[in-house]
Structure 1
Amino acid sequence: MKLDRLLAIIMILVNQRRVQAQELAEMFDVSVRTIYRDIDTLNQAGIPIVTYQGQNGGIGLIDGYRMDKHVLTRDELNAISIALKSISTSYQDVHASAVLEKLKGITNEQQPPESIFIDFSPWGGSPVLKEKVTMLKKAIETSVCVHFFYSNSSGEESEREVEPHTIVLKGQSWYLYAFCLKKKQFRLFKIARMKELTVDEKEFERKEVQLDESPWDKEWYHPERITTLVFTFQSRDLAMIEEMFGVENVTKDEEGRFIVRTEMPEDEGMYRFLLGFMDQIEVIEPIHVREKLRGLLKKMGEIYK
């Protein structure tokens, strides 16, 4: 994770005058080029890091600079601590605990008790998923391609080689946002569906992507894939439906029925999502979706008759 590496570099430079870029690269298991990109990021954030030439040269803070121990408040330190500990539930990072210890050293004040902990891992744990996320994180930081076999929502398997750009947590699932060399465009891959994941030696140049604009949302909501769904549900499920679809999408008709009108991409994933409600909802429109659900339920009935 770039954030914990940046924090660790700051703490290292605060605690020792100068350090070689190669030494930092080996410490964090990244390339020297990545370290210099990190230094540029820190400089842009206002941390005056310079490169010294000569026998005793290296990377260091500008002479006379001291970090104010109050640059981070106690509440801010606690927020960073919660974030790092929570993220560590999903991938292995040997540097996270070191960063946490160094953050404690910024101030001698006792930190407040942790009132919240975010556990991103599934129930029962998933060491395989955690290993995949860790591998992908390293590939992203070193800008190397990854190779895997992928099963889409329809169960179709294909072989992929991609340029990984970022890991995304969306809807309680982990995804890889990457440029697919086969499709020649960015795609979102569900990490749990990846098989035989390997890291290549092939390096790539990162493309300009505005991650803060969530480009995967725009691809998911492509007009050609969208269908408008209308369904009814019982009053006992009102709170759950309002929370899931938004109170603004829930109305009540003249007959007293609760109705939801929403838009979703029509694919196999949509039908599995709707069937997951079992008898809690009834799809009214569009008719072809209602008919397909009827057919799927008939097939299920044949299996269990």
Structure 2
Amino acid sequence: MSQLSRLISILTMLKSKRLLTATELSKKYDVSIRTIYRDIKKLEEGGIPVFTIEGKGYSLMDNYTVAPVQFSEKEANALITAQHVINQSQDASFVHDFNDALTKIKSVFKSSIQQKSELLNDKIHVFNWKYEEISSNALSEIQLAITSFNYVEINYQKADDPSISFRKIEPCAMYSTNNKWILIAWCHLRIEYRAFRIDRIKHFKILDSFFEDRKFNIQDYFASCPYGD
């Protein structure tokens, strides 16, 4: 779980009027008590009125509420449209996570906007003219590896090549073209940046070890016109 997700979850628990201890939170999120101390400090720095009851735990100031998020009809329509586009993706993890997120977002729509968004949903269709029967289920995990700088091990198969090669990579960025997600990574086999089609990754493992940020810039990468793998 990312720090942002953990902060939101802690705030949700505090809003339920529970008295929370650092020990309880560290066990729930499987992190150290020192990490929880940092999380609480982050909430305080963000203006959340968390206060400490000495010897007991953390609580929220009485009557504290979070202002509800309001979406305009055009913003809601943009999300519905994005859902149709994303549902064409051949990566199951990405589609699943986006649809779960959108369900939560739609729960805060005003009833009138919710009704219209459901109407629009029935009136949109996105065709994929370059459909290929190749799918993947790695995008969501690899996105986490990019932002956390985790090494990744993959088994990769090039197009029109029956052999599969093992690679240890440093995932740096990704882009989409023709409905296919391309991962740009530093490849320890080739000792240079390479582009990998995510749907051609046959197996992957996110390692617990971390690489140093190479300050990769995707604009510079495209300007150099590298070739894929």
TM-score (norm 1): 0.47
For 1:75, the aligned partner's letter is K
The answer on whether the counterparts of 1:14 and 1:67 sit within 8 Å (CA) in structure 2 is no
Match of residue 145, structure 1, among 128, 135, 151: 151
- 1:131 to 2:163 alignment: no
| Residue 180 of structure 1: how far off its partner (Å) | 2.0
Q: State the superposition RMSD in angstroms.
A: 4.8
Matched residue, 1:116: 124
Matched residue, 1:67: 67
The answer on whether the counterparts of 2:6 and 2:29 sit within 8 Å (CA) in structure 1 is no
State how far apart, in whole Å, the 1-side matches of 2:148 and 2:180 are: 24
| Residue 154 of structure 1: how far off its partner (Å) | 8.3
| Residue 139 of structure 1: how far off its partner (Å) | 3.3
The answer on whether the counterparts of 1:175 and 1:188 sit within 8 Å (CA) in structure 2 is yes
Report 1:42-61 matches (<5 A).
48=46, 50=48, 52=50, 54=52, 55-57=56-58
For 2:103, the aligned partner's letter is E
For 2:15, the aligned partner's letter is R
State how far apart, in whole Å, the 1-side matches of 2:50 and 2:78 are: 34
Matched residue, 2:92: 91
> How many equivalent residue pairs?
200
The answer on whether the counterparts of 1:8 and 1:98 sit within 8 Å (CA) in structure 2 is no
State how far apart, in whole Å, the 2-side matches of 1:15 and 1:121 are: 46
Matched residue, 2:188: 181
Partner-residue secondary structure (3-state), 1:77: helix
Residues 90-148 of structure 1, C-alpha deviations (whole Å, 9 max, x = no match): 2325654443233223232333212435577974754xx32233442343355321222
Larger Cα-atom Rg: 1
The answer on whether the counterparts of 1:166 and 1:176 sit within 8 Å (CA) in structure 2 is yes
For 2:75, the aligned partner's letter is E
The answer on whether the counterparts of 1:188 and 1:216 sit within 8 Å (CA) in structure 2 is no
State how far apart, in whole Å, the 2-side matches of 1:10 and 1:77 are: 22
State how far apart, in whole Å, the 2-side matches of 1:6 and 1:116 are: 33
State how far apart, in whole Å, the 2-side matches of 1:108 and 1:163 are: 43
State how far apart, in whole Å, the 1-side matches of 2:221 and 2:180 are: 14
| Residue 76 of structure 1: how far off its partner (Å) | 0.9
Partner-residue secondary structure (3-state), 1:57: strand
- The structure-2 alpha-carbon separation of the partners of 1:96 and 1:132, relative to structure 1 and needing over 3 Å to count, comes to closer
State how far apart, in whole Å, the 1-side matches of 2:76 and 2:6 are: 14
Contiguous gaps of at least 5 residues in structure 1: 27-31, 223-264, 270-305
Match of residue 100, structure 1, among 84, 90, 102: 102
- The structure-2 alpha-carbon separation of the partners of 1:69 and 1:174, relative to structure 1 and needing over 3 Å to count, comes to closer
The answer on whether the counterparts of 2:184 and 2:195 sit within 8 Å (CA) in structure 1 is yes
For 1:83, the aligned partner's letter is A
| Residue 169 of structure 1: how far off its partner (Å) | 1.0
Partner-residue secondary structure (3-state), 2:93: coil
Q: Which moved more, 1:160-169 or 1:142-151?
A: 142-151
* Percent sequence identity over aligned pairs: 17
Match of residue 222, structure 2, among 210, 217, 221: 217
Matched residue, 1:169: 176
Partner-residue secondary structure (3-state), 1:182: coil
Name which structure has the greater RCO, CA cutoff 8 Å, separation 6+: 2
Report 1:20-59 matches (<5 A).
48=46, 50=48, 52=50, 54=52, 55-57=56-58
